[in-house]
Amino acid sequence: MTKTVAVIGGGPAGLMAAEILAQAGQTVTVYEQKPSLGRKFLMAGRGGLNLTHSEEFEKFLPRYGAAEKFMTPLIESFTPQMLRAWADDLGQETFIGTSGRVFPKMFKASPLLRAWLLRLEKLGVQFKLNHHWLGWRENNLIFKYENKEVAVAADAVLLALGGASWPRLGSDGAWTEILQNKKIEIMPLRPANCGFQINWSDIFKNKYAGQPVKSVALLFNGIRVPGEIMITQGGIEGGPVYALSTALRDAIAQYGSAELAVDLRPDMTEEQLTKALQRPRAALSFTNYLRKAISLSSPAIGLLLEQPNRAELGRYSPPQLAALLKSVPLTLTGTSHIERAISTAGGIALSELDNGLMLKKLPGVFAAGEMLDWEAPTGGYLLQGCFATGAAAAHGIINFLN
């Protein structure tokens, strides 16, 4: 007997579930509040669409931090290799970049999404766009559509509503209240893979906001991440910042601020820097001297001069200056707003879900994707997690309906 399944949320998690459910012969309707599907997925495509990562499971699974145990069986059932084969099957061959990250050869999401939606249509999946889910009334799902309320009955429901970052793309976190009213525990939604706030001086931010500081390394809690950081009006963002963001965010929550160290010349040892700084300064200004002696870029010099004791730096001995250049302290006072974060931490407490990702307190209602309480760094782990939880929820629904 065919059963009806309502998938709410047309992002990667919801669409993956819709595909598996339709292949299993269920009647599937995807409800999406935006006028088109997969908006955040398309945005991810702007950065090349890092679909997953090629590293071994021993390295891959710990990326999910506290949620590793929860994610392990889900990723084992929908592996990075399976994800690559799936993309390939949609005509989007993937490749492994030098960092081990996996991308489609086209480096974007739109051709993949187009082929995917075509496949879903052929499988008979219905799409109801501009349908904003409001919750339940009696046993019906209630949607707002063109200023009217529409009631929908379904044999099973999948919630795949995303997190709360980039709300203009659809995932706005408004679902938290609906589920809390049903006594579902929701861990607070917080920015993940996000930028941080720093109280820059006016001179520094006016000159360098929007500029990168290239080839640096960030150090926090014994972890060192090389890369390029971006100066913003209110702080910093960029790959190495995102990589440390969970630890930095949690430290700020606990202590009110966090001290991050920047190695401005990770390619030189302290001894090599000391030697290079022994070159006589002659009539050069301090900044020109740093530029000439150790090829320090202008934004890097700016960062160094953000130290409260900037007036004394010119009198530092070469070993003192070399030590500072290897570890320039920056005080982070908060995270950037969740609206600008790549992803969201927090969400439906994992203890609320059974093995098939059904909400134990709401039989027949399942959840998947970024709205669950797991987080991961950038590197393809986010999309892999969304696809894998979408697939697991689909299998959970099939078992439930049988």
Ligand X SMILES: Cc1cc2nc3c(=O)[nH]c(=O)nc-3n(C[C@H](O)[C@H](O)[C@H](O)COP(=O)(O)OP(=O)(O)OC[C@H]3O[C@@H](n4cnc5c(N)ncnc54)[C@H](O)[C@@H]3O)c2cc1C
| Chain-centre distance for alpha carbon 375 | 8
CA distance 84 to 98: 17
Nearest to ligand X of 15, 264 (CB atom): 15
Least distance in angstroms from the C-beta of 112 to ligand X: 12
Least distance in angstroms from the C-beta of 115 to ligand X: 17
Least distance in angstroms from the C-beta of 394 to ligand X: 13
Least distance in angstroms from the C-beta of 72 to ligand X: 18
Least distance in angstroms from the C-beta of 382 to ligand X: 4
C-alpha dist (Å) from residue 282 to 120, 183, 223, 287, 318: 71, 71, 38, 13, 15
Nearest to ligand X of 32, 263 (CB atom): 32
Nearest to ligand X of 119, 207 (CB atom): 119
Between β-strands 4-8 and 156-159, what pairing exists: parallel, antiparallel or unpaired? Answer: parallel
CA distance 218 to 208: 18
Beta strands per DSSP E along 99-222: 101-104, 126-128, 132-137, 140-145, 148-152, 156-159, 186-192, 196-197, 212-220
Nearest to ligand X of 51, 325 (CB atom): 51
Least distance in angstroms from the C-beta of 340 to ligand X: 9
Q: Work out the number of other CB atoms within 10 angstroms of the CB of residue 9.
A: 30
Least distance in angstroms from the C-beta of 334 to ligand X: 20
Nearest to ligand X of 92, 165 (CB atom): 165
| 376 contacts 382 by C-beta, under 8 angstroms | yes
What does the block give as tokens for 290? 């740093």
**Beta bridge pairs of residue 235:** 197, 232
Least distance in angstroms from the C-beta of 166 to ligand X: 4
Nearest to ligand X of 26, 165 (CB atom): 165
C-alpha dist (Å) from residue 248 to 80, 300, 318, 334: 28, 22, 31, 9
| 325 contacts 294 by C-beta, under 8 angstroms | yes
Least distance in angstroms from the C-beta of 161 to ligand X: 4
**Beta bridge pairs of residue 6:** 29, 157
Which residues contribute to the site for ligand X (CB under 6 A)? 8-14, 31-34, 39-41, 43-44, 47, 49-50, 132-133, 160-162, 165-166, 170-171, 174-175, 342-343, 369-370, 380, 382-383, 386
Nearest to ligand X of 26, 33 (CB atom): 33
Nearest to ligand X of 194, 301 (CB atom): 194
Residue 286's closest CA among 265, 323, 314? 314
**Beta bridge pairs of residue 102:** 52, 96
Nearest to ligand X of 13, 179 (CB atom): 13
Residue 290's closest CA among 307, 273, 306? 273
Least distance in angstroms from the C-beta of 147 to ligand X: 15
Nearest to ligand X of 11, 302 (CB atom): 11
The 27-31 sheet, strands edge to edge = 126-128, 27-31, 4-8, 156-159, 365-367
| 273 contacts 294 by C-beta, under 8 angstroms | yes
